[in-house]
Amino acid sequence: MKENFIEKISTTAPAIKDFGESVHDVVVMASLLEKEARTMETREVIAGILWKRLKDGMPLQVDAVFPYINGKNTFQLSLEDLQVDHPYNTYTRKGLPPGPIANPGLDAIIAAINPEDTPYYFYLSDKEGMMHYARTFDGHLANKARYLR
């Protein structure tokens, strides 16, 4: 399995090097994108948001880590779950998790190194899987009220 991963990632090695982040960080980001978004387009937008949050010192607040931590999906999470003390909790810790949360596909790796530059800092997926973006936390709260009732 490791050999297969190395073979597949080798096709993107020059682009990863040019991107300027370590292979480890790109793979961790790609694993988040693999679980957080369904399409290449949304992965690239979310990659842009997450890299921007990292650069700005914000917590990533990625719900996709919770199945890895406690087996719960986004719609099952409580406020208590979001505060659990765990190295992979992107709500309580800044930066990337210490390792991947999944085996990312090549599309997720490509999205991780091709982030879309948008004005957004926040996103959410509604129960149908549609993505909604916001520039501000207030906008994000409005999206939550509108799409996650």
- Domain range for 83 is 2-117
pLDDT band at 73 (very low <50, low <70, confident <90, very high): confident
126-146 average pLDDT score: 94
Interhelix angle 40-55/23-36, nearest 10 degrees:
130
Question: Within this chain, do residues 142 and 113 fall inside the same structural domain, yes or no?
Answer: no
Question: Within this chain, do residues 103 and 41 fall inside the same structural domain, yes or no?
Answer: yes
Question: Within this chain, do residues 75 and 136 fall inside the same structural domain, yes or no?
Answer: no
pLDDT band at 75 (very low <50, low <70, confident <90, very high): low
| Count: domains in the chain | 2
pLDDT at 77: 79
Per-residue model confidence as pLDDT tens digits over 8-36? 778 888 899 999 999 999 999 999 999 99
Element (H, E) at 2: helix 2-10
For the chain, the average pLDDT equals 92
Question: Within this chain, do residues 86 and 146 fall inside the same structural domain, yes or no?
Answer: no
pLDDT at 1: 64
Question: Within this chain, do residues 72 and 131 fall inside the same structural domain, yes or no?
Answer: no
